[in-house]
Structure formats: C-alpha cells, structure tokens
Amino acid sequence: MIESKLSKSQYLRGLQCHKKLWLYRNRKDLLEEPDAAQQALFDTGTDVGLLAQQLFPGGEEIRFEEGNFDDKIQRTKDLIESGVKTIYEATFKYDGVLVMVDILHKGRSGWQLYEVKSSTQVKDVHYDDVAVQYYVLNGSGLNIAKTALVHINSQYVREGELDIKQLFAIEDLTESVLEQQDEVVETLELIRVSVQGEEPDIDIGPHCSDPYECDFTDYCWKHIPEVSIFNLSRLRGSKKWELYNQGIIEFNDLPDDYPLNSAQEKQVEAHLNGTEFLDKPEIEKFLKTLSYPLYFLDFETYQSAIPQFDGLRPYVQIPFQYSLHFQINENGKLEHKEFLAMEGEDPRESLVKKLVEDIPRDVCVLAYNMGFEKGVIRNLAEQFPNYADHLMDIHDNMLDLMAPFRSKDIYLKEMKGSYSIKYVLPALVPGLSYQDLKIKEGGQASSTYATLHLIEDEKEREEIRQNLLAYCKLDTLAMVKILKFLQSTVFPR
Ligand code: SF4
C-alpha cells in the first residue's frame, strides 16, 4: 500500500473528486475563499457542534489549540485509559488517516461514536463521513458498539429554555457503516494512488457541486463562458450535462433541432442575435392587475439552526428589516419607510407592529419573488395571532413584480437567463447598481445583522446599520424603477 497521510476532510474531498483533493494538496494557491454564506454555514456547524456536547455533559475536550496532532492522539489515549466516559474531539490515527470524533461516549456495551451535523437530515455523505471514522477507531483497537449522526430536528419549536434533547435527533448508522468498511479500504487505496501522481485528468461534472460546492471551480470551469448551456433557463441539470458531454457548451453549438421551450427559444435568440423580447399585451395584462396606492415591500431575514427566541423552529426565516416605497397614485410623490430591528434582540414583534402601521389594509403590495415575502408574513401571522388579520390582508393583496420576467414576457440578453432582480435591474436600469454599496447581497445582509450585536464600537455599529438600510432601500427602489420601465414601455407618453 502507498503511504500517504490523510485527514478525514481530505478523505471526503477525495471521495467527491480526486482532483479536488490533488489540487488541495498541491495547488492551495487556487483554493477559493468561502463567501459570506459559506462562512456562516461553517460558523453554524461550530456552534451546533458545541451545543450537541451537552447531550453528553461532563466530558473532556481535546482542544484544537492543545499541541500538535500527536499530542492530541496521546491525550485521547490517556483519557481513555484513565476511565473518562465522554471525550469531545477525541483524536485517532490509523493507516495514515487522522480523525477527530465530535463526541465519543462509553456506553454499557462499548464506545459510541457521534458525528454532529447542522443539517436537518442524514445525507449520503454523512454515511461516508462516519464510516471512515469507524475505520480509524476500529483499527486503533477501540471497541465501537454504535455509530450515529446527531442532526438538527427541524420540527422542534422553542418555548422557554432551549431543550437540547428536542433540538437534536440522533440516527443510528451502525449497520450501514459496518457494511461500508470494505468500500472505505478501496476508496483509500484509490485516493492514495491519485494523490501520488500528476494532476488527475478529471473533467467538470455533477460532482462539482455534489455533495459540496467545490472550492476550485474558478480553475476547473474557466473554459465555460459567462453565458452557456448551464444558464439555459429551466433545463434540468441532467440535460445540461448530456449537452456538455456532447461538446455543446455555447448556445451557438446547440443543434437546430434541439427541443427548446418558448422561454428558452427567447433566451437563445436574444443572446445570439441581440433580439429584445417585449410582449406588450402580456405586460399590459400584468400592469392592469396593479392598483394605487401601491406599496413596494422587501424583507431581509436571517436563519439560525439554533432557535434563539420562543415560537421559532430551526432555520425558520427571521425577518429583521424591511424597506417600503409607496405611491398613493401613479403620478404621486414616491415616499419611503423602513425598519431595522435593534441588534441582539428578538426583531419579530417590533417589526410586525411597524409593518401593520406602515401598510394599510386593502392596498396593493408588490414584492419581487413574492413567495419569499408571503412565507415570512405567514410565519409572522402564526407567531403573532393578534396581528394575523392585518398581516394576512397584506399577504392576500400581494402581487409579484417578478412574474413578467419569470415568464419571459420581457427578456434582454443582459439578463443572462436569470429573472433575479440582481440581473433584471442592471439590464433595464443601468444607472442603478448594488456595486457602490458596502452590502451588496442578501446573504451578506443576513450575516452582517446576525453578528452586529457582537461589535462593541457604537459608531461602527451605527455605520453598519446605515449600510444595511441603504442595501434594503435599493431593493425596493429597484422595484419602483423596474415598474416605471414596464409602464413607460407599454404606455409611452
Ligand atoms: S471543480 Fe469539479 S472537477 Fe474541479 S476539482 Fe472541483 S469537483 Fe473536481
């Protein structure tokens, strides 16, 4: 066997794609930094891991900063020998593979290995994750009676103190993990061969995002242009890969008889010939569904795996901010209201109170991708029954400005196959852009607000609050401008 040291995370990298591991070990310079959303996910994982330790309280922790890995392995050994029943981050090495076990607990019939994940269900990759840990611990001579995955129970609703036993679900994976042991040996052998040689000749494929988004996509995907068959709207992933594997990458390469629906036809035609699609009768039909006074609403939300306040389930969207532009009549003055909750507090009730104050009953409310806004309002109505009537009035009077773009009643090549406001806005209103703002997208707004209370400097906090307000305000102003564009196109003055 070829000797090559691997950590568990490297094993999982190699399992996803040999090249992903090879690049990680040989071309760290190409590794992409996690974006705000990915970083938030990592941070959530750390918080959830720490909290899950309370399922088995009183254990000893092998701290990451405590010496090198050999020291950690030795300390784990010492703790086991001294009769400690629970160890967090217990560290082992066998066959050149290093693993740190989230929770190792000694039960009546032997040791139990618990891997903690912040997901709400067991995924295929979790079996691989636990299987390689079992391989190492078993090989190290430990009697493992049970292997399990601890994950978030999405049905838990917090009332009062956090109930750790309800927050987490434990799934026993022992049987499958034992069955997978031969596979682990084979995988290790293959991975080791691949890391020894030259860069593996592996093309891009569905594995680039399954089970994780690869952090070398800039490097491997550089031959894919900004607009390609991968942007072809509403085409199933498997179909895109079928095309790619036939060497069809750009719209130009598509065979003439390739079956496209009308939206896809428009997209291809717009891209190849610069044709602008504007179905005036359909847009007019949409515009006639609107009425004044007209309110433009946009929420910003964040999610937390660990419910922070009463009545919350894990990962439910918690609104903390909204922007509201409104016009009493079509030629009336454009007015603006906004709300941003105080950081570190439960934002929901104060937001609800202000929202029902700011939006009267029986008015037309426009959102962009209203499914999201409606979902937030329904949750709030459930959580605050005193305001449910008014909230559901707003909900029921909501219309979606995204509708004409989703159906491609209007389509320009600058929209790059997307109907997201981030593409539609620069295509229709080039002067208005998110680029000059400090906060440029929703994920960044969420993580900024979720950690705002940790910033001690008041002035800095205030500055960040202003950045959040500016971002959300642009979202509704963008809607106003997009609507104006549609109106002036259909009813030119
Ligand atoms: S981008 Fe795809 S092909 Fe490239 S290393 Fe990652 S998974 Fe492998």
The domain spans of the chain are 6-196, 224-260, 282-490
**Alpha carbons 338 and 472: distance in angstroms, whole number:** 9
Query: Hey, is 383 helix, strand or coil?
Result: helix
Contact status, residue 413 vs residue 424, Cβ threshold 8 Å: no
Predicted pLDDT at 64: 81
Cα 388 to averaged position of ligand 1 atoms, centre (Å): 48
Predicted pLDDT at 110: 95
Q: Mutual orientation of helices 18-26 and 181-196 as an angle, nearest 10°?
A: 50
Contact status, residue 155 vs residue 169, Cβ threshold 8 Å: no
Phi, psi (deg, nearest 5) at residue 186: -65, -45
Contact status, residue 112 vs residue 148, Cβ threshold 8 Å: yes
Torsion, Cα 105 107 113 119, to 10 degrees, reads -90
Q: Is the dihedral of CA 377, 379, 384, 386 positive or negative?
A: positive
Task: Give, using CA atoms, the residue closest to atom 2 of ligand 1.
Answer: 208
Cα 356 to averaged position of ligand 1 atoms, centre (Å): 49
Residue 470 CB: number of other CB atoms within 10 A? 15
Inform me whether the pLDDT recorded for 1 exceeds 50: no
Predicted pLDDT at 4: 62
**Alpha carbons 381 and 400: distance in angstroms, whole number:** 20
Inform me whether the pLDDT recorded for 54 exceeds 60: yes
Q: Are strands 144-152 and 86-94 parallel, antiparallel or unpaired?
A: unpaired
Of all atoms in ligand 1, which is nearest to the CA of residue 207? 7
Alpha helices by DSSP H, listed for 119-229, are: 124-139, 164-167, 174-179, 181-196, 217-220
Beta bridge partners of 318: 302
Predicted pLDDT at 422: 87
Inform me whether the pLDDT recorded for 11 exceeds 60: yes
Predicted pLDDT at 61: 96
CATH number of 282-490: 3.30.420.10
The number of CA neighbours under 13 Å toward the Cβ of 372 is 18
Query: Hey, is 39 helix, strand or coil?
Result: helix
Beta bridge partners of 104: 87, 113
> pLDDT for 377-392, tens place per residue?
999 999 999 999 999 9
Please compute Rg for the chain using Cα positions: 27
Query: Hey, is 334 helix, strand or coil?
Result: coil
**Alpha carbons 293 and 334: distance in angstroms, whole number:** 11
**Alpha carbons 8 and 98: distance in angstroms, whole number:** 6
Of all atoms in ligand 1, which is nearest to the CA of residue 215? 6
Residue 32 CB: number of other CB atoms within 10 A? 13
Predicted pLDDT at 33: 93
Pocket test for ligand 1, best of 13, 22, 214 (most atoms within 8 A of CB): 214
- In angstroms, the Cα distances linking 281 to 244, 267, 290, 330, 404 are 37, 19, 15, 20, 11
Q: At 165, is the pLDDT very low, low, confident or very high (cuts 50, 70, 90)?
A: very high
Task: Give, using CA atoms, the residue closest to atom 5 of ligand 1.
Answer: 20
E strand or H helix that includes residue 140? none
Inform me whether the pLDDT recorded for 493 exceeds 80: no
Residue 211: cis peptide before it, omega within 30 degrees of 0:
yes
- In angstroms, the Cα distances linking 361 to 129, 192, 351, 355, 396 are 52, 66, 17, 11, 10
Token pair, residue 492, equals: 């030119």
> pLDDT for 216-265, tens place per residue?
999 999 999 999 999 999 899 999 999 999 999 999 999 999 999 999 99
Q: Mutual orientation of helices 8-16 and 181-196 as an angle, nearest 10°?
A: 80
Task: Give, using CA atoms, the residue closest to atom 1 of ligand 1.
Answer: 217
CATH architecture, range 6-196: Alpha-Beta Complex (3.90)
Task: Give, using CA atoms, the residue closest to atom 3 of ligand 1.
Answer: 204
> pLDDT for 171-197, tens place per residue?
999 999 999 999 999 999 999 999 998
- For all residues of the chain together, what is the average pLDDT? 95
Range with lowest mean pLDDT among 1-10, 229-238, 362-371: 1-10
Instruction: Using a pLDDT cut of 90, give the percent of the chain over it.
Output: 89
Inform me whether the pLDDT recorded for 36 exceeds 80: no
Of all atoms in ligand 1, which is nearest to the CA of residue 217? 1
Extract long-range pairs of 21-24: CB within 8 Å, 24+ residues apart.
Answer: 21/191, 21/194, 21/195, 22/194, 22/195, 22/199, 22/200, 23/199, 23/216, 23/219, 24/216
Inform me whether the pLDDT recorded for 2 exceeds 50: no
Total-model pTM: 0.90
Pocket of ligand 1 (CB under 6 A): 17, 19-20, 23, 202, 204, 207-208, 214, 216-217, 220
Instruction: Using a pLDDT cut of 70, give the percent of the chain over it.
Output: 99
Inform me whether the pLDDT recorded for 52 exceeds 90: yes
Q: What 8-state DSSP symbol labels residue 310?
A: T
> pLDDT for 97-121, tens place per residue?
999 999 999 999 999 999 999 999 9
Contact status, residue 180 vs residue 127, Cβ threshold 8 Å: yes
Q: At 39, is the pLDDT very low, low, confident or very high (cuts 50, 70, 90)?
A: confident
